[in-house]
Amino acid sequence: MNILTLTCWSHAIKYHLFSRDEWTVLAAGTIERIALGGSFISQQAPGREPSYLEAEADDHHGAVALIIAALTDPQQGVIADAGDISAVGHRVAHGGEEFRHSMRIDGQVLDSIRKLRHLAPQHCAANIAGIEAAMGLLPDIPHVAIFDTAFHQTIPEVAHIYPLPYEWYEKYGVRRYGFHGPSHLYLSRRAAVLLAKPAETCNLITIHLDRGVSLCAIKNGRSIDTSMGMTPLEGAVMETRSGDIDPGIHAYMMQELNLSAREWEQILNNKSGIVGMTGQRAGRRQFLEAAAEGVPRCKLALEIETYRIRKYIGSYLAIIGPLDGIVFTAGAGEVEWPVREMVLHGLDCFGIRLDRDRNRAIRPGREEAEITGEGSLVRTFVIPTNEELVCVEDVAAIHSGGCSDHQRRDYSFAHPGFVPPGPIA
């Protein structure tokens, strides 16, 4: 049994092909610049040299067709033909209140996903295009939607209702939903193993720190609050997103600059955050180097980024109570020891202490590591996330008619004997 997972964005798709044999990754890759011209696909498989092919993909249908062609290529492929794919898992950004766990996609489910598109238009349009393309090209196998919002459906009303006219919630679905659910779920289960405690007894703060940033307050194994809101724009400072700002700024700047709602949304999503504060679109490495060298706006942006995360940790401590652990993950969370150090600086008053030497010695992306300092009352970890494994195990469970509720599912990675996979060699 081989399961394909697809994560679709407007101009790119990330994919993994898993074998049911101990969830081995047979191949992984990305196709980029969809509908922009100059598109290309790159693929890695264990024991092989990476492959790269320039090939035009005018839309998501063409992109998924190229992925299937790459997987079945006589020289570079890993399966004989498309018939060797047993099921497809699709990451879907928004499930609203309707979808509390992963679901097999049929016409009714797809229609419901389309109706929720307005809640995350930048993400859902691409998700829908990927689903339609894959179901058209692989019509005879199950397709399953894995919702980023599902893990956060346990958040209570006190945390998910906004102080706005209540009918907006009833009529338009305006509430906190949260995102990066598969990542926070994976971290919660792996942290429980490292803590040697049942997941349902663990109190955690998980920090997904990448281009998009979200924190999750987990009490007794369940999400009770999260930093992203109705859309992925709320919360911490991100690479190009503003995160939390005074709502009064919206009307003021739209009037001052004569901007439409769409234009203002584009600024908040694509021209704010680190990019907005520094005026630069350099990569994270260049940004951190500039901050370390004392470039004023880069230094300030880094301080603001880490200060805001630290504020979230403090607020979550107030609602979780006694805390078992803090977990960092994703690109920046795994790689950037200075960021972890700055985030945790000054939290000694909460019994949170960092071992600086351990923190600086981590090999990014290759190991789960504890960076707890001596005398700390709270344990701190760096755990490489594996959202794709969450997705593929959800697909397999639904395909076999097993438990669809992620809160009760017996995931492989929730067991002490699980060995996290390293990067594809």
**CA torsion through residues 286, 288, 292, 294, sign:** positive
Cβ neighbour number for residue 127 with a 10 Å cutoff: 25
Catalytic site includes residue 148: yes
Q: Report the distance separating Cα 197 and Cα 173, nearest Å.
A: 36
State both tokens at 95. 């499930």
Find the radius of gyration of the CA atoms of the chain: 21
Closest by alpha carbon to 64, among 128, 140, 145?
128
Contacting residues for 145 by C-beta, under 8 A, at least 6 apart: 90, 92, 95, 99, 102, 103, 104, 105, 109, 113, 131
DSSP structure class, residue 419: -
Q: Are 5 and 15 in contact (CB under 8 A)?
A: yes
Number of H helices, E strands in the chain: 15, 14
Catalytic-role residue among 73, 106, 148, 246: 148
What are the tokens at 366? 């290759």
Is residue 192 within a helix (H) or strand (E), and if so which, with residue range?
helix 181-195
- Helix/strand/coil (H, E, C) string of 94-147? CCCCCCCCCEECCHHHHHHHHHCHHHCHHHHHHHHHHHHHHHHHCCCCCEEEEE
Q: Which residues are catalytic?
A: 148
